[in-house]
Structure 1
């Protein structure tokens, strides 16, 4: 099992998200048992979405953990907000979003949100390998 943690600074520019995507591709590319290119693209898309939204909605920094399991890749993001992501009607006019969490739930085999006793939350997903 391979694991990797990346501390992600607040997303003030695309650089932070690009760094998280690049780190994810590096980890996936270094796995002893390779992951299919399409599955890797899905993992990177979910990382991008979760890392973008954690600081936006959770304030401050977040931490990204990737864990390779025999049958899947676990993406875990920890942030400082106790508020869970929620399903909402996507905003087609004003650009306020609403597309990301439904997309993550469609792409992932499982999703879970856990509130932490010390504050904040952990969003975990398992994606196909």
Structure 2
């Protein structure tokens, strides 16, 4: 089983999200059997959304963990905020968002939010390989 974990600093959020996407590309590229391009794009999109949300809402750093399983790829983002993502009506005319968590739930086979003993949480998505 292949795994990778990186810490993503909030101090440079936009660059950090780009770094997380690039690290994910490298992780997926090295997997055997090879992951189809469409699957890789979906995993990268989910990484981008979960890392962006963690940086936006946690106020601290987050850690991205990727795990390759025989039938899928698990994306897990750990942050220090106890607040779980929630479904809400997307804001079609403003900048309040609301699109990301429904999208992640649509793309993933399963999602989970686990509160950690230190007060933070882990948000994970399992995507078919």
Instruction: Give the structure-2-normalised TM-score.
Output: 0.97
SS of the aligned residue for 2:113 comes to: strand
Gapped runs of 5+ residues in structure 1? none
SS of the aligned residue for 2:16 comes to: helix
TM-aligned CA deviation for residue 16 of structure 1 = 1.0
Instruction: Give the structure-1-normalised TM-score.
Output: 0.97
Answer whether contact 1:11 1:55 (CA < 8 A) is retained: no
Runs of 4+ with >2 A deviation: 11-14
1:17/1:36 CA distance change after superposition, 3 Å: same
Question: Which residue is 1:28 aligned to?
Answer: 28
Question: Which residue is 1:42 aligned to?
Answer: 42
How many equivalent residue pairs? 129
Gapped runs of 5+ residues in structure 2? none
TM-aligned CA deviation for residue 55 of structure 1 = 1.4
Query: CA–CA distance in 2 between the matches of 1:4 and 1:100?
Result: 23
RMSD: 0.9
**1:91-115 Cα distance to aligned partner (Å, 9 max, x none):** 1112110000000000000000000
TM-aligned CA deviation for residue 12 of structure 1 = 3.9
Answer whether contact 1:79 1:120 (CA < 8 A) is retained: yes
**1:12-63 Cα distance to aligned partner (Å, 9 max, x none):** 4421111000000000001121101000000000000000010111110000
Query: CA–CA distance in 2 between the matches of 1:36 and 1:53?
Result: 26
1:127/1:23 CA distance change after superposition, 3 Å: same
Answer whether contact 2:13 2:55 (CA < 8 A) is retained: no
